[in-house]
Amino acid sequence: MNVLLNPLEWLDILRWQDIADILIVAYLIYRLLLMIRGTRTAQMLIGLFVVVGGYFVAQRFELYILSWVIRNLLGYLFLTILVIFHPEIRRMLAQVGQNTFFRHFYGIEKSQVIDEIVRSTEWLSSRRIGALMVIERGIGLKPFINSGVTVEAEISKELLSSIFISGAPLHDGAAIIKDNRLVAAACFLPLTLSSDISQELGTRHRAAIGVTEETDAVVVIVSEETGSVSIAVAGEITRHLTSSELKRVLKNLLGGISETQPRKVSRLSKLSRSAQKAQE
Ligand SMILES: Nc1ncnc2c1ncn2[C@@H]1O[C@H](COP(=O)(O)OP(=O)(O)OP(=O)(O)O)[C@@H](O)[C@H]1O
């Protein structure tokens, strides 16, 4: 195909499929950029572009050894991308599966679990008992479940609360909820390495953010120091929630409305309003 055609000639040979093709690819790139914006993946992607750019420069100036080295490196590019971006790829695929259309096939009913979680956080927060509750969504949490102690029990405010009482054998670590059941406690989660997080937040909050960077889980945190309740999702934390705010956000995230994008504290009211509308 002659790429030096003038714009009118281009219009002549362009099929509707080509336009659809371009729009789909542009949309996918846009979604990808949205997903990685502000994350360490964005920095890695820039690094990758620098290497690819280096290759073209080396070719242009006939630097044969450098070209050879970069060409061999790029040979592993596909594998490298899979390894570097595997959390994003998993999250992206899970988001596709969580699309409202697909939800109709497996309809998640979590309202009772949400009530028990909220009642438990109220109880824990009023007594300043630290807690970390991870709720599995699309992406399996098996490695984290395996790091703790199997529980396999029906969720109740009493059970959840008693797990975190200081000195209880399972209080240290995270409780994991899967398919409306408490499956494990005392689980170890990966800590986030992000430097954007407030210095006030210690390892409990860092672990909550860490697991949401790698998976699409929703994490509820009660601070032992302040009693403050927070929620973490998609690598973002929203702090100082009241019980009704927590309930609304959990309903929004687990109860049917697709909300998997990173959110910030300032988005809470918007999030809550949309959840409220959905309830009406
Ligand atoms: N990687 C981890 N996985 C699971 N739980 C963890 C992890 N790291 C710390 N925790 C939990 O957090 C507790 C320590 O919390 P720490 O005081 O350091 O954090 P914090 O964010 O300041 O929370 P708080 O506001 O409750 O004090 C540990 O006793 C443990 O229960």
Is any atom of ligand 1 closer than 6 Å to the C-beta of 132? yes
Is any atom of ligand 1 closer than 6 Å to the C-beta of 272? no
| Total number of domains in the chain | 2
Question: In the chain, how long is the greatest CA-to-CA distance?
Answer: 77
Of the chain, the percentage scoring pLDDT greater than 90 comes to 42
Is any atom of ligand 1 closer than 6 Å to the C-beta of 188? yes
> Could you tell me if 124 and 245 lie in one domain?
yes
Residue nearest (by alpha carbon) to ligand 1 atom 6: 173
Q: How far is it, in rounded angstroms, from Cα 152 to Cα 1?
A: 62
pLDDT in tens, 200-249: 899 999 999 999 998 999 999 999 999 999 999 999 999 999 999 999 99
> Could you tell me if 89 and 120 lie in one domain?
no
Place of tokens 């929620």: 231
pLDDT band at 117 (very low <50, low <70, confident <90, very high): very high
**Residue where a domain stops, chosen among 97, 119, 154:** 97
**Residue where a domain stops, chosen among 63, 97, 131:** 97
Is any atom of ligand 1 closer than 6 Å to the C-beta of 172? yes
Structure tokens at 153: 């029990």
> Could you tell me if 117 and 18 lie in one domain?
no
Residue nearest (by alpha carbon) to ligand 1 atom 12: 204
pLDDT in tens, 176-194: 999 888 999 999 999 998 8
Is any atom of ligand 1 closer than 6 Å to the C-beta of 205? yes
> Could you tell me if 48 and 110 lie in one domain?
no
Residue nearest (by alpha carbon) to ligand 1 atom 28: 172
Residue nearest (by alpha carbon) to ligand 1 atom 15: 204
Structure tokens at 68: 């050879």
> Could you tell me if 137 and 275 lie in one domain?
yes
Amino acid found at 208: A
Q: How far is it, in rounded angstroms, from Cα 192 to Cα 185?
A: 20
| DSSP symbols for the chain | --TT--HHHHHHH--HHHHHHHHHHHHHHHHHHHHHTTSHHHHHHHHHHHHHHHHHHHHHTT-HHHHHHHHHHHHTHHHHHHHHTHHHHHHHHHHHHTSHHHHHHH----HHHHHHHHHHHHHHHHTT--EEEEE--SS--HHHHHTSEEEEEE--HHHHHHHHSTTSTT-SSEEEEETTEEEEEEE--PPP--S-S-TT--HHHHHHHHHHHHS--EEEEE-TTT--EEEEETTEEE-S--HHHHHHHHHHHHSSS---S---GGGHHHHHHHHHHHH-
Angle at 51 between CA 48 and CA 52, to 5 degrees: 90
Is any atom of ligand 1 closer than 6 Å to the C-beta of 207? yes
Q: From the CA of 249, how far away is ligand 1's center (Å)?
A: 23
**Residue where a domain stops, chosen among 97, 115, 149:** 97
pLDDT in tens, 164-175: 999 999 999 999
Identify the pLDDT of residue 5.
Answer: 66
Residue nearest (by alpha carbon) to ligand 1 atom 14: 204
pLDDT in tens, 9-55: 777 778 888 889 999 999 888 877 776 666 666 777 777 788 888 88
> Could you tell me if 55 and 132 lie in one domain?
no
> Could you tell me if 119 and 253 lie in one domain?
yes
Partner residues linked to 184 by β-bridges:
150, 176
> Could you tell me if 64 and 191 lie in one domain?
no
> Could you tell me if 152 and 247 lie in one domain?
yes
> Could you tell me if 185 and 112 lie in one domain?
yes
> Could you tell me if 92 and 124 lie in one domain?
no
In sequence order, what are the residues at sequence separation of 6 or more whose Cβ sits closer than 8 angstroms to the Cβ of residue 254?
108, 110, 113, 114, 135, 137, 218
Mean pLDDT calculated for residue range 86-104: 63
Is any atom of ligand 1 closer than 6 Å to the C-beta of 248? no
Q: How far is it, in rounded angstroms, from Cα 116 to Cα 144?
A: 22
Is any atom of ligand 1 closer than 6 Å to the C-beta of 239? no
Domain that holds residue 186: 104-279
Place of tokens 């595997």: 86
